[in-house]
């Protein structure tokens, strides 16, 4: 297959990743690899109680250990303000708003109580073992039952209570011809990006320079400025390569401590967390307990959907697991009651992890729909299609572009759904029971305000694009180059891309599956500005120019230049236009327009997941040899990187379905499996054939017609697997992960 590299076909083409070669050859420099003369390495001492006071911190042995430059504790750490928390402050990046190393308080088991700096990582690690804290422990809430007993309250998301009520769902449920009503649970999960969290920091006078692995450079810079009492321009955060984020690469205490320690020692500091360190200091997905009750008519149409969730948070963070988000978007129903409550625990702050809300929420909802399908004797695909809404449920807002039914039908066809037995335990191959399950998926379209980009038109029809965006491995640099090449009608090779630095334009989080929309809107705005400027400075005023009198509104781009919209033959290349303007290059920077499309329309990505599931009759092991993901996510801007995003999300969903669970010792609140040997993730041997397809229908309301694709891949996968397990062996598992003990 040939890959278009210019012209109108460059968008959507399977363009290989720009960062691919430097990553596979090991020359991409990650945050923990930035060389610095005189570098000190940080090691962290973690509390071993969940709550209480530090009563003793003997640091003498550590201070006298070879190579040690500093042992920092709350006794000698410099003044620092509490970091602004994500979702509580417009530029908050921190997982929580707790002060870092300001007092003798311990708030979770694993909190950093001392930082040791030494001239090698090994010497720092050794010295950290010599620090011997003692504690006056206080009663802590470290079990889910204790948290619930302490009391629950309605959770809020960005200040909005997570409550949606339409009609009388409880009455409708009681009156329904057929109903299901079950409780589902999902466990705590920890962040396990391939690159553990790391930063290399150095003070340049009063300026803090941070090489970080973040997915929100601008917010981290502003948040660090607040912590250290600096102007925002006194902090520079650079993160050109990020080895996976999934929501976890925000601002966490290790980075604040590294910056403080660098200030104290007047030397550069590297804080590269061990895998265990990530579990102790970085929050992951919280646990949930959900009730889903659906009342239906005999023909399958829903009269009532009740979905209530209870999940754990801490007092100090503001990111609930909004488990009902998908429920409010997927199905028509006569009435709804959707509510999310929280109970507080003394743990590291929970945080966002790929499709927070939708991933655990869809496990409950889509399992319940499967259960209802069996009660009704209706095929699970057909049941979903019968409840397809015409407008957004509850709000009644019009859909901008919804082709969920097409995606469902295409996925069912591709998978071969019609060959599935409706009756469980119908197919066996040797020791293996074979089944199939399906689930629907959705994820909201988001475009945060703050998108901006700078474009630089250079000699020879070269274009530079600069934005404070992030490359976490999903293809940002590549797609940004495609978007820019298409705008200018220049070859991909003529576009250079700068990103991953807080000094670049825009506030562009790689989160909420919104980065590409933000960039597309910003590039379009900056391009318009640049073209207008180019015409105003030269051709528009010039005599003899084919573009005389033109404005940004009356030209188009074609073949490395501009032409009249009404006469494509009236064309000039960029070099000629720059020459008319007396310029060697031209820059334009512009903010994206406010995301008005989000208020006016119901905009979502959609998907349908189909899983072939095998359960071993002897051992209870579950295998998933085959998954089909069929998506409706607007226009796909790069067929190769999009497929990678979908597959990656599906694999993460397999982990959620079958393996992932952060084990906490209820007596102490300590995470007991902080390693990849004890916290299981899918490895290659666990991943079978994953086939992804999409409708590719552009959305007329969104930048470039695209929807987000970063998170929807994980949504629905756990339910599809659970439903497949039921189809294989007739056992309904309502508690993730589906481990073999639950099937024997
Ligand atoms: Mo995603 S959890 O918004 O990085």
pLDDT tens, residue by residue, 285-316: 999 999 999 999 999 999 999 999 999 999 99
Distance 351 CA to ligand 1 centre (A): 9
Q: Is 469 helix (H, G, I), strand (E, B) or coil?
A: coil
Instruction: Give the pLDDT score at 259.
Output: 98
Q: So what's the architecture of 34-139+194-244+249-281 in CATH?
A: Alpha-Beta Complex (3.90)
First to last CA, the chain: 48
Cβ 292 vs Cβ 182: under 8 Å: yes
Give the per-residue SS3 of 253-298: HHHHHHHHHHHHHCCCEEEECCHHHHHHHCCCECCEEEEEEEEECC
Distance 135 CA to ligand 1 centre (A): 36
pLDDT tens, residue by residue, 218-254: 999 999 999 999 999 999 999 999 999 999 999 999 9
What pLDDT band is residue 8 in, cutting at 50, 70 and 90? low
* Fold held by 347-446+601-743: Aldehyde Oxidoreductase; domain 4 (3.30.365)
**Whole-angstrom Cα distance, residue 518 to residue 452?**
8
Cβ 320 vs Cβ 358: under 8 Å: no
What pLDDT band is residue 1 in, cutting at 50, 70 and 90? very low
What pLDDT band is residue 112 in, cutting at 50, 70 and 90? very high
Residue 600 has pLDDT above 60, yes or no: yes
Atom of ligand 1 nearest to the CA of 354: 2
Query: What's the mean pLDDT when you consider all of the chain?
Result: 97
Residue 2 has pLDDT above 60, yes or no: no
What values do phi and psi take at 566, rounded to 5?
Answer: -90, 0
**Whole-angstrom Cα distance, residue 18 to residue 66?**
43
Atom of ligand 1 nearest to the CA of 249: 4
What kind and span of H or E run contains 610? strand 604-616
**Whole-angstrom Cα distance, residue 330 to residue 649?**
19
User: Please, what sign has the CA dihedral across residues 123, 126, 130, 136?
Assistant: positive
Complex-level ipTM = 0.97
Instruction: Give the pLDDT score at 673.
Output: 98
Among the listed residues 185, 212, 192, the one whose alpha carbon sits nearest the alpha carbon of residue 201: 212
Range 339-356 average pLDDT:
98
pLDDT tens, residue by residue, 437-472: 999 999 999 999 999 999 999 999 999 999 999 999
Q: Which residue of 191, 193, 354, 508 sits with most ligand 1 atoms within 8 Å of its CB, as the best mutation to test the pocket?
A: 354
Distance 297 CA to ligand 1 centre (A): 37
What pLDDT band is residue 538 in, cutting at 50, 70 and 90? confident
Distance 490 CA to ligand 1 centre (A): 33
**Whole-angstrom Cα distance, residue 731 to residue 710?**
32
What is the distance, to the nearest Å, from the Cα of residue 154 to the centroid of all Cα atoms in its chain?
A: 24
Atom of ligand 1 nearest to the CA of 215: 4
Q: Beta partners for 437?
A: 611
What pLDDT band is residue 6 in, cutting at 50, 70 and 90? low
Q: Is 46 helix (H, G, I), strand (E, B) or coil?
A: strand
pTM: 0.97
Distances, alpha carbon 346 to alpha carbons 111, 224, 311, 317, in Å: 11, 25, 13, 11
Range 341-357 average pLDDT:
98
pLDDT tens, residue by residue, 560-597: 999 999 999 999 999 999 999 999 999 999 999 999 99
Q: Which residue of 217, 247, 249, 446 sits with most ligand 1 atoms within 8 Å of its CB, as the best mutation to test the pocket?
A: 247
Among the listed residues 490, 473, 472, the one whose alpha carbon sits nearest the alpha carbon of residue 481: 490
**Whole-angstrom Cα distance, residue 305 to residue 399?**
21
Q: So what's the architecture of 8-27+448-594 in CATH?
A: 2-Layer Sandwich (3.30)
For ligand 1, atom 4, the nearest C-alpha belongs to 247
Distance 86 CA to ligand 1 centre (A): 12
Distance 462 CA to ligand 1 centre (A): 33
What pLDDT band is residue 540 in, cutting at 50, 70 and 90? confident
Atom of ligand 1 nearest to the CA of 711: 1
Name the E strands within 143-190: 152-154, 156-157, 160-161, 163-166, 178-186
CA Rg, the chain, in Å? 27
What pLDDT band is residue 740 in, cutting at 50, 70 and 90? very high
Cβ 709 vs Cβ 642: under 8 Å: yes
DSSP-assigned letter for residue 713: G
**Whole-angstrom Cα distance, residue 169 to residue 308?**
12
- What amino acid positions are annotated as catalytic residues? 711
Distances, alpha carbon 610 to alpha carbons 67, 252, 621, in Å: 56, 37, 19
Distances, alpha carbon 5 to alpha carbons 482, 536, 640, in Å: 8, 30, 14
Range 394-419 average pLDDT:
97
Task: Convert 682-705 to b/e letters by CB count within 10 Å (16 or more is b).
Answer: beeebbeebbbbbbbbbbebbbbb
How much of the chain, in percent, has pLDDT values that exceed 70?
99
Q: Which residue of 191, 284, 652, 711 sits with most ligand 1 atoms within 8 Å of its CB, as the best mutation to test the pocket?
A: 711
Among the listed residues 360, 359, 379, 356, the one whose alpha carbon sits nearest the alpha carbon of residue 369: 379
- Which residues, including other chains, have CB under 8 Å from residue 106's CB and lie 6 or more apart? 47, 49, 50, 51, 52, 53, 54, 113, 135
pLDDT tens, residue by residue, 17-41: 999 999 999 999 999 999 999 999 9
Instruction: Give the pLDDT score at 543.
Output: 72
Atom of ligand 1 nearest to the CA of 510: 4
| Comma-separated ranges of CATH 3.90.1170.50 domains in the chain | 34-139+194-244+249-281
Q: What residues flank ligand 1, with Cβ below 6 Å?
A: 215, 245-247, 352-354, 356, 511-512, 711
Give the per-residue SS3 of 456-468: EEEHHHEEEEECC
| Comma-separated ranges of CATH 3.30.365.10 domains in the chain | 8-27+448-594, 347-446+601-743
What pLDDT band is residue 3 in, cutting at 50, 70 and 90? low
Range 87-94 average pLDDT:
96
pLDDT tens, residue by residue, 29-73: 999 999 999 999 999 999 999 999 999 999 999 999 999 999 999
**Whole-angstrom Cα distance, residue 736 to residue 655?**
10
């Amino acid at each position: 297959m040939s890959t278009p590299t210019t012209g109108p076909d460059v968008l959507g083409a399977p363009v290989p990743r720009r960062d691919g070669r430097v990553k596979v050859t090991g020359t991409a420099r990650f945050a923990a690899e930035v060389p610095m003369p005189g570098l000190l390495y940080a090691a962290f001492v973690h509390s071993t109680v969940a709550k209480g006071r530090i009563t003793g911190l003997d640091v003498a042995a550590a201070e006298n250990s070879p190579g040690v430059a500093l042992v920092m504790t709350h006794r000698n750490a410099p003044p620092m303000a509490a970091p602004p928390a994500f979702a509580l402050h417009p530029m908050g990046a921190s997982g929580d708003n707790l002060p870092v190393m300001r007092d003798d308080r311990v708030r979770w088991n694993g909190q950093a109580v001392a930082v040791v700096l030494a001239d090698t990582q090994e010497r720092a690690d050794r010295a950290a073992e010599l620090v011997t804290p003692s504690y006056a422990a206080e009663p802590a809430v470290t079990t889910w039952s204790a948290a619930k007993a302490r009391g629950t309250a309605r959770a809020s998301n960005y200040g909005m209570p997570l409550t949606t009520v339409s009609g009388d769902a409880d009455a409708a449920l009681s009156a329904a011809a057929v109903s299901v009503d079950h409780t589902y649970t999902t466990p705590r999960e920890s962040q396990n990006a391939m690159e553990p969290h790391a930063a290399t920091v150095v003070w340049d006078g009063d300026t803090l320079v941070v090489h970080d692995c973040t997915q929100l450079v601008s917010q981290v810079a502003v948040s660090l400025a607040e912590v250290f009492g600096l102007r925002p321009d006194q902090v520079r955060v650079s993160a050109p390569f990020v080895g996976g984020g999934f929501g976890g690469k925000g601002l966490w205490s290790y980075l604040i401590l590294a910056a403080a320690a660098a200030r104290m020692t007047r030397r550069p500091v590297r804080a590269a967390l061990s895998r265990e360190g990530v579990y102790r200091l970085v929050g992951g997905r919280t646990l949930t307990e959900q009730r889903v009750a659906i009342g239906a008519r005999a023909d399958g149409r829903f009269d009532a959907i009740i979905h209530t969730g209870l999940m754990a948070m801490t007092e100090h963070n503001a990111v609930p697991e909004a488990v009902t988000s998908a429920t409010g978007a997927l199905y028509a129903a006569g009435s709804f009651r959707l509510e999310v409550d929280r109970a507080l625990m003394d743990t590291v702050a929970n945080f966002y992890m790929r499709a927070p809300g939708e991933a655990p929420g869809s496990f409950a909802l889509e399992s319940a729909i499967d259960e209802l399908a069996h009660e009704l004797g209706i095929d699970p695909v057909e049941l979903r299609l019968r409840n397809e809404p015409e407008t957004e449920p509850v709000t009644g807002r019009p859909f901008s572009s919804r082709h969920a039914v097409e995606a469902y039908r295409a996925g069912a066809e591709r998978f071969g759904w019609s060959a599935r037995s409706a009756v469980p335990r119908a197919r066996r191959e040797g020791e293996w029971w074979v089944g199939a399950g399906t689930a629907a998926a959705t994820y909201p379209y988001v475009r945060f305000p703050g998108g901006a980009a700078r474009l630089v038109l250079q000699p020879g029809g070269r274009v530079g694009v600069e934005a404070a965006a992030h490359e976490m491995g999903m293809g940002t640099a590549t797609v940004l180059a495609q978007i820019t090449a298409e705008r200018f009608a220049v070859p991909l090779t003529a576009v250079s891309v700068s990103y991953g630095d807080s000094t670049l334009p825009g506030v562009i989080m790689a989160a909420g599956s919104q980065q590409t929309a933000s960039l597309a809107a910003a590039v379009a705005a900056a391009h318009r500005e640049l073209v207008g400027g180019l015409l105003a400075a030269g051709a528009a005023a010039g005599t003899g120019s084919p573009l005389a009198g033109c404005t940004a509104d009356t030209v188009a781009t074609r073949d490395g230049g501009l032409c009249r919209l009404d006469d494509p033959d009236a064309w000039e290349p960029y070099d000629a236009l720059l020459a008319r303007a007396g310029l060697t290059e031209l820059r334009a920077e512009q903010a994206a327009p406010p995301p008005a499309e989000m208020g006016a329309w119901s905009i979502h990505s959609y998907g349908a997941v189909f899983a072939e599931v095998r359960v071993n009759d002897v051992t209870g092991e579950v295998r998933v040899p085959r998954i089909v993901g069929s998506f409706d996510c607007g226009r796909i801007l790069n067929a190769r990187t999009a497929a990678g995003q979908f597959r990656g999300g599906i694999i993460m969903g397999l982990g959620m379905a079958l393996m992932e669970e952060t084990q906490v010792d209820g007596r102490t609140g300590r995470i007991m499996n902080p390693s990849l040997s004890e916290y299981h993730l899918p490895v290659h041997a666990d991943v079978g054939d994953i086939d992804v397809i999409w409708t590719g229908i552009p959305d007329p309301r969104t930048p470039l017609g695209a929807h987000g694709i970063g998170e929807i891949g994980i949504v629905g996968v756990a339910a599809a697997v659970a439903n497949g397990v039921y189809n294989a062996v007739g056992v309904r598992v309502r508690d993730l992960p589906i481990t073999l003990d639950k099937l024997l």
